[in-house]
């Protein structure tokens, strides 16, 4: 399993443990014949630039992009293409980094202009929540 998929599954399990129903963007495997050879590739379709959509009764819908420690500027540029109905939804960036053998997530909330990071610099972490 690739790192990005693993991090998405960690985030999904965290949300489900909190009572959310979670939709995860799917990968479609496609096959093409190029110069006589079959080539397999994955075509990923995010939902408004997000990997996960989480809903729970009496909570705002959460659109979440999970990323490793890089690529934040690219994510913000992608979100600027959309007219999110703030404050009716929450658009979040979950930034993951490995720290002492554990994945640590820091959460930023997108407000249409930029990210507002949650207080508590360390966020939350996982060690062996998912088996590979």
Q: Please name which of 27, 25, 33, 74 lies closest in space to residue 51, comparing C-alpha atoms.
A: 25
Provide the pLDDT confidence category of residue 112 given band limits of 50, 70 and 90: very high
- Strands (E) across the chain are located at 21-24, 27-34, 37-44, 52-55, 62-67, 90-99, 102-110, 115-117, 124-126
Is the pLDDT assigned to residue 26 strictly greater than 50? yes
The DSSP element (H or E) to which 76 belongs, if any, is helix 72-79
Average pLDDT of the residues in 23-41: 80
Domains of the chain in sequence order: 3-126 (3.40.1350)
CA distance linking residue 26 with residue 106, whole number of Å: 24
Q: Among 25-34, 83-92, 109-118, 120-129, whose mean pLDDT is lowest? A: 120-129
Contact 52, 15 (CB under 8 A): yes
Q: Dig out the tokens for 21 from the structure.
A: 């129903």
Q: Going by DSSP bridges, is the β-strand pair 62-67/90-99 parallel, antiparallel, or unpaired?
A: parallel
Peptide linkage before 87 cis (omega within 30 of 0): yes
Q: Is 11 helix (H, G, I), strand (E, B) or coil?
A: helix
Question: Do the bridges between strand 90-99 and strand 102-110 make them parallel or antiparallel, or are there none, so unpaired?
Answer: antiparallel
Buried b (16+ CB within 10 A) or exposed e, 90-99: bbbbbbbeee
Average pLDDT, the chain: 85
């Amino acid at each position: 399993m690739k790192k990005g998929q693993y991090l998405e599954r960690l985030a999904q399990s965290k949300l489900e443990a909190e009572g959310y129903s979670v939709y995860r963007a799917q990968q479609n495997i496609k096959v093409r014949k190029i110069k006589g050879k079959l080539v397999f590739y994955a075509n990923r379709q995010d939902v408004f630039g997000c990997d996960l959509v989480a809903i729970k009764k009496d909570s705002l819908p959460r659109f979440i992009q999970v990323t490793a420690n890089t690529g934040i500027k690219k994510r913000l540029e992608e979100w600027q293409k959309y007219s999110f109905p703030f404050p009716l939804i929450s658009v979040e960036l979950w930034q993951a980094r490995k720290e002492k053998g554990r994945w640590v997530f820091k959460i930023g909330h997108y407000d249409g202009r930029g990210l507002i990071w949650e207080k508590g610099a360390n966020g939350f972490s996982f060690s062996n929540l998912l088996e590979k």
